[in-house]
Structure 1
Amino acid sequence: MRNQRRNTKLTAIAAATAALALGLTACGTASDPGAKAVSGDKAAAAGEPLVVAASPTPHADILEFVKKNLADKAGLKLEVKEFTDYVLPNTATQQGQVDANFFQHKPYLDDFNQKNKTTIVPVVNVHLEPLGLYSKTVKSLKDIKAGQTIAVPNDTTNEGRALQLLAENGLITLKDGVGTSAKLSDITDKKGLEFKELEAATVPRALNDVDAAVINGNYAIEADLEPAKDSLALEKAEGNPYANFLAVKKGNENDPRVKTLAKLLNSPEVKKYIEDTYTGSVVPAFGAPAK
């Protein structure tokens, strides 16, 4: 599917990224310096395409489905730009190099805005990618023993989420009340396990070097893993706060193009596409984002 994309690949703007990241890790690509910047404070000219930054899978795939099957009929010109990290989509949106992004959940965005003084806001929920525990050598949870190493994402929200998954499955014990903000220092009983903190995008590549790894759903799919089938443990969808959403710079929520895309992303056609394509590895989670 990815070979059919006509997305614009993005080149690095290292200095701008370093200034805005403020401790958040990044890799991969940045926005095209030759691309026309879109003002975050002015209404877009009629007929201009809506440019959306997205992670390759499943975000860009879902947007490409909308572009090819729904956008023309709705009068929307849609352009998808792929990013392979969790920092640059927000910085490009804040700077007006893209109009919107689709790659993140609310806990991550809240943490990002606070650390980077950005003003990105969610528009509409689209789907959930359950976080999972994977291994190339271990066949079940009961086979994970003291002395083994588990890789976890190192960004604030996803590490806490990963540790909660491990705690819920009896692999570690956490301090009471730490919730999804848990850190390695909040583990009260490691049960002899060791942990390796890595940028979320690189965790799948570490599977051969560790005994198990907690991997974000989109990166698992890109690594040819099937979360619903290959994981040793998987997050539950019900009541999960980590729905991924369409987001824009504050003030652009009422852009007619954004409203049109939000409606299309919550359409019955997209629901069927997600269910048919990802068979439980990605699940629809439509509606208004959490406050």
Structure 2
Amino acid sequence: MRLRSAVVSAVAALTAIVTLAACGGSASEAAAPGDPAAPLRVGVSPTPHGEILRYVADELAPARNLQIEIVEFTDYVQPNTALVDGSLDANYFQTVPYLEEFTASSGADLAWIAPVHVEPLGLYSNTVTDIAALPDGATIGIANDATNEARGLRLLAANGLITLNPGTEATATPRDIASNPKNLQFSELEAAQLPRSLEDTDASVVNGNYAIDAGLNPATDALVLESAENNPNANGLVTRTELRDDPRIATLAELLQSQEVKTYIEQNYSGAVIPV
């Protein structure tokens, strides 16, 4: 399923999978733009984004008179659709390439505010401990959304498992593979399903947040891991364009990029999450 069709189905299912993780209230109670006293409703993936934001809400925000309501989502589409429909004031889970793909597909008017951390993408396996041991014809799980699929294929190419046709790297799909010496087969799945797919695949490319949530440590468990250096895939804070200049958004961005948050990330994620 591509992102465009996922957006349509996600809108219909929005209220079914939202988990309110802080102050009470319904998903339709996002604050009015420009009200500095109103709580800021922020959508996140539970791990590590929800954990990091909960630290900010509990330990840093009160001193800045900022109230944060945390809303957790289990996929990558609905935090954006909830932001578009006004259920949220901001979200913190995605990268710039993913945001660009979403806005191009949906026409949404969203604004990137600030990067916070990188979660290196990794290749994991329950059956082999080295990529050289992957058998001929091995099945590899990869994300089915355009941004993360291309990112996963770039990881495989960077480690010599495949090559991609020149010029296709940013938008690569399996159709853009130029050479495939191990005759790898690809199983395209929703990103959240990839950790579970390890029971059925020889290896799967898993996003950092879903790896951590599944009890995997990217720094030690991945067969190969995306480099964090000069990585364009930092996860960051996003809002609607109309809220770009909201002082609450500016305060939250400042707190998320603070030394306190960098220290919290370094102390709690052992290199699996890297502050920018």
Would you say same fold, with TM above 0.5?
Answer: yes
> Which residue number corresponds to residue 133 of structure 1?
123
For 2:103, the aligned partner's letter is N
Q: Deviations over 1:222-253 (max 9, x none)?
A: 00000000000000011111001100011211
Change (3 A) 1:168 1:19: closer
Change (3 A) 1:175 1:164: same
Tell me, which stretches of 5 or more residues in structure 2 are unaligned?
none
> Which residue number corresponds to residue 134 of structure 2?
144
C-alpha separation between the residues in 2 aligned to 1:18 and 1:128? 25
For 2:263, the aligned partner's letter is K
1:83 correspondence with 2:73: yes
> Superposition pairs for residues 203-222 of structure 1, below 5 Å?
203-222=194-213
> Which residue number corresponds to residue 188 of structure 2?
197
Moved more, 126-135 or 20-29: 20-29
C-alpha separation between the residues in 2 aligned to 1:259 and 1:230? 36
Pick the aligned partner of 2:101 from 111, 123, 143.
Answer: 111
C-alpha separation between the residues in 2 aligned to 1:19 and 1:171? 30
C-alpha separation between the residues in 2 aligned to 1:224 and 1:77? 31
Q: How much identity, in percent, do the aligned residues show?
A: 47
Tell me, which stretches of 5 or more residues in structure 1 are unaligned?
1-16, 286-291
Give the drift of 1:30. Answer: 4.1
Give the drift of 1:31. Answer: 7.6
> Which residue number corresponds to residue 260 of structure 1?
251
> Superposition pairs for residues 168-187 of structure 1, below 5 Å?
168-187=158-177
SS across alignment from 2:157? helix
Q: Which has the higher helix share?
A: 2
For 2:200, the aligned partner's letter is D
> Which residue number corresponds to residue 30 of structure 2?
38
> Which residue number corresponds to residue 269 of structure 2?
278
> Superposition pairs for residues 236-247 of structure 1, below 5 Å?
236-247=227-238
SS across alignment from 1:203? helix
Q: Deviations over 1:78-111 (max 9, x none)?
A: 1101001011100111111011000000000000
Taking structure 2 as the reference length, the TM-score comes to: 0.91
Q: Deviations over 1:14-57 (max 9, x none)?
A: xxx99881488999714889434336xx5343421101000000
> Which residue number corresponds to residue 3 of structure 1?
none
Moved more, 138-147 or 49-58: 138-147
The RMSD of aligned alpha carbons is: 2.2
C-alpha separation between the residues in 2 aligned to 1:137 and 1:38? 46
C-alpha contact 1:22 1:115 (8 A) present in aligned 2 = no
C-alpha separation between the residues in 2 aligned to 1:267 and 1:210? 40
> Which residue number corresponds to residue 14 of structure 1?
none
C-alpha contact 2:30 2:40 (8 A) present in aligned 1 = no
1:64 correspondence with 2:50: no
Change (3 A) 1:73 1:278: same
Change (3 A) 1:168 1:218: same
> Which residue number corresponds to residue 17 of structure 2?
29
> Which residue number corresponds to residue 111 of structure 2?
121
SS across alignment from 2:108? coil
